[in-house]
Chains A and B, each alone.
Chain A
Amino acid sequence: MALPKVDAVCVGVGWTGGILAAELTKAGMSVVGLERGGPRGPENFEHGHDELRYAVDKELAQDTSLETWTLRHNTGERALPIRRIGSFAPASGVGGSGVSWAGQTWRFNPRDFEIRSRTIERYGEQVIPDGMSIQDWGITYDELEPYYDRFEYMAGIAGKAGNIQGEKVLGGNPFEGPRARDYPVPPLVENRAGSIFRTAATDLGYTPFPGPAAALSRRYTNPAGITRDGCTYCGFTGHFGCRAGAKADPTVTVIPEAVRTGRFELRTNATVVEILHDGARATGVRYYDAAGRLQEQPADVVLLTAFTFTNCRLLLLSNMGEPYDPATGAGVIGKNYCYQADGAAGLASFKDEDFKPYMAACGGAVAVDDLNGDNFDHTGLGFLGGGLVKYGSAPTLPITGVLVPPGTPAWGAQWKQAIRQYYARSLIVGAQGESPAYRDHFLDLDPTYGDAYGLPLLRITFDWRPNERAMVAFLGGKIKELVDTMGADFVLAGGILPDHYDTASYQSTHNTGGVIMGADPRSSAVNNYLQMWDYPNVFVVGASAFPQNPGYNPTGTVCALAYRAADGIVNTYRANPGPLV
């Protein structure tokens, strides 16, 4: 029995579902949000400064006993399930990963959106390695800029502009694309370790600047009239929820915006298992409600606003779009799965410093963009891409943050002395490495393993390639120069990726692709409004749309794309349903 039809249904209520729900309901549309997890808000984190519960056990992440993913490193290997949360931690519950994120809020570089054409233009097509399937996004930075701006002002991002309408601004990122105006609130307070990084970077000729952050540097009222307090620098950042509401998260921003219209109905513990469709049109979704009953929610517009993996898996489970086939290169659903090539890092330790690492804000960083993307000449280097090099605030908390240099035993009297020596006196410089697409890195349905409902798990085929290994080694060498410049008592740096991509140790929740955007329906699944080429009333919104993953944290771009999709639906599609491109 179908429920009453609504104008739109959101599958997943995190950042993208929340943004679309807010924008569509404000425009008068009725929206139902279906969230697989439970209700959540800042009140749930009143006693939440518990590292074991959130950072070790990752309580906010998806429960892998119910649904997980399988991984193989190449198409010849049998995939094995990722049996507990490891390398990445997509969340479940209202607000999604937008509750547990660490808050670094970047814009991608203009080059990133035109990576293929600009690479060929500068170096020639022959520099693109065999099997690397990087492609342009079908949108330019300038087209996306207004939507970045909307997200940053809604969320209250703390930062310093480096380029306002083409004018370079001292103190910001000189490599960023032109922005309409400065950030809505000033940068967070730089800490002592950040100042040491800034000095070293300046000495080496780089241009350091404060990383844009989703923790408010002061009390802020956003354009929707929602007021939030400034950050307390409590140090419980990524994997935690914010008890103060200072970290921008959907439960304190866009979801309240949608709820107060009276046109948004949020249903929790509602697990969507199928998108219903008839011809070239989706008619609604089928989901299990909190009591385990199968329900049908009809809607004029279906918005897939879950995490990267779920967006892709639901299309495959629903037989929508042509599944990607790496053997022929035909099909699009599942294509160009990418991640983040971390692995370059440096440690500097100082006998006479006390960095107070536990005083830290979400997203607080000092960064240089000189070694990212194509901001430096790659001629003769033997690889493409780069990474954002930054000092964050590690290590902050002791279970996961105590560290010892290599050569120190992992236990015993010497280890006991070393953790005391290094915990508060060390800083770590890291790099957020670009992850290019390859023809045989993709997502499909696993033939063997299933979820709690008996449906196939999503299978990931992915590994590190020579290009990223060379890139990470290069970044490691540059980081070594940086830590060597700091005057530390002990330094160590390098860049190395493991023999194979490791699903067990946390790296980042920057999983991208599978339902990629582009200008051509033969090589992409959605257009530059995130609208499916094959089903114009279906929008697939998330990092699933990234054709490959640049060397920045993804959330800023994910949310900008969500505002663009909302703009397309509200201002064009609603009056004239059909393809927007």
Chain B
Amino acid sequence: MSGNPNEDSVERRGTTRRAMLAGAGGLVAGGLTATGASSAPVAAERETPGPRPPLRFFSDAEAATVEAMAERVFPADRSGPGARDAGVMHYIDGRLDGGWGRGERLYLQGPFEEPTDSGHGYQLPLPPREVYRRALRTVDVHCRTTHRDTAFVDLPAAAQDEVLTALESGEVDLGLAGGQAGFTSASFFAMFLDNVYEGLFSDPMHGGNRGMIGWTWVGFPGDPSAYGEPYADYVGKWHLPYHVIPKGVQ
């Protein structure tokens, strides 16, 4: 049968582990002990960014909103570049124009019913790109209503964070949920965060992670096959440092 792809502890899928740790956190007193990154990975050689790729799905205004939203998730600061530099918006634009955004491999047969309890996952009759279009329009209306006709991109960072927090807590009405287990702005925000994480950490062939910004940030070397499978020389010699400039699939 299957195996457990990436068994329980090995690679629990991102959302699962986050949920698990958050759940476990409810049982354990105490919080994060801030330690700071003590051994930063080597700085990537910053590639000179090429011309911005053309947009495939987003309008200019949608693209600007998504780019600004992603930048608040992974902001450029003194410690390093941010989501804008990494091309995350362009990744998401391609993602929504591609199979995933169009609902490929998504079971879209009715009847469509809102769940009455948790655990049923995505139940909307919409492919993800339609969810984005609707949510981004709502975000724009929300910003203009609450901030004197100001678009998200023109808000100061603190106000942008307030908008994202409102989305994250499910407070912005997307008109898609009737009850507690429905698709709220929190559901959209979780989808958006997953896409940002993908745009930061997927292989650069997908349009994000430009200049290996995401991989360099966490110290992930990319595809070992691109270096001729060097790991076997390090396995068992765990004291040896392994720092390389990441490479994607060749």
Contact = CB atoms under 8 A, between A and B. Distances in A.
A377 interface: no
Q: Which of B9, B23, B106, B220 has the most CB of A within 10 A?
A: B9
B146 interface: no
Interface stretch (A26-34, A274-282, A422-430, A565-573): A422-430
A274 to B, nearest CB: 21
Interface string B97-125: 00010011111110101011111111100
A238 B220 contact: no
Interface size class of A (residues with CB under 8 A): 35 or more
A332 B40 CA distance: 59
B38 interface: yes
Nearest to A240: B5
A351 B35 contact: yes
A542 B2 CA distance: 10
B107 A81 contact: yes
A248 to B, nearest CB: 10
Interface in A408-463: 408, 410-413, 415-421, 423-424, 428-432, 448-450
B13 interface: yes
Given A55-B11, A449-B109, A553-B7, A399 B202 contact: yes
Interface string B70-90: 001111010100000000000
Given A102-B3, A392-B8, A65 B229 contact: no
B217 interface: yes
Nearest to B20: A345
Contacts of A204: none
A522 interface: no
Interface stretch (A35-43, A82-90, A165-173, A368-376): A82-90
B3 A411 contact: no
B120 A71 contact: yes
Interface stretch (A132-140, A175-183, A317-325, A354-362): A354-362
Interface in B38-58: 38-41
Nearest to B222: A49
Given A49-B249, A84-B106, A555 B73 contact: no
A191 B238 contact: yes
Interface stretch (A113-121, A229-237, A251-259, A260-268): A229-237
Interface in B168-192: 168
A84 B2 contact: no
Contacts of B41: 420
A558 B1 contact: yes
Interface stretch (A156-164, A500-508, A523-531): A500-508
Interface string A356-393: 10111001010000000000000000000000001111
A90 B4 CA distance: 9
Contact of A504 (B10, B120, B203, B238): B120
A235 B223 CA distance: 9
Contact of A398 (B10, B201, B250): B201
Interface in A536-568: 542-543, 553-555, 558
Interface stretch (B26-34, B60-68, B137-145): B26-34
Contacts of A423: 218-220
A555 B24 contact: no
Contact of A553 (B3, B28, B229): B3
A490 B33 contact: yes
Contact of B229 (A102, A234, A480): A234
Contact of B104 (A47, A65, A394, A419): A65
Contacts of A234: 224-225, 229, 231
Most interface-central of B123, B218, B249 (chain A CB within 10 A): B218
Interface stretch (A1-9, A144-152, A491-499): A491-499
A47 B236 CA distance: 26
A283 interface: no
Which of A191, A365, A398 has the most chain B CB atoms inside 10 A of its CB?
A: A398
Contacts of A284: none
Interface of A: 14-16, 47-52, 55-57, 63-65, 68, 71, 73, 77-78, 80-86, 88-91, 96-98, 100-104, 189, 191-192, 214, 230, 232-235, 237-239, 243, 307-308, 340, 342-343, 345-347, 351-352, 354, 356, 358-360, 363, 365, 390-408, 410-413, 415-421, 423-424, 428-432, 448-450, 476, 480, 489-490, 492-496, 498-511, 542-543, 553-555, 558
Given A82-B107, A90-B1, A423-B220, 5 more contacts: A232-B232, A233-B235, A238-B7, A399-B197, A495-B27
Ranked nearest first, the 10 interchain pairs of A and B with the lowest CB-CB distance are A101-B3, A406-B25, A430-B9, A238-B5, A238-B6, A504-B121, A97-B2, A392-B10, A494-B24, A509-B2
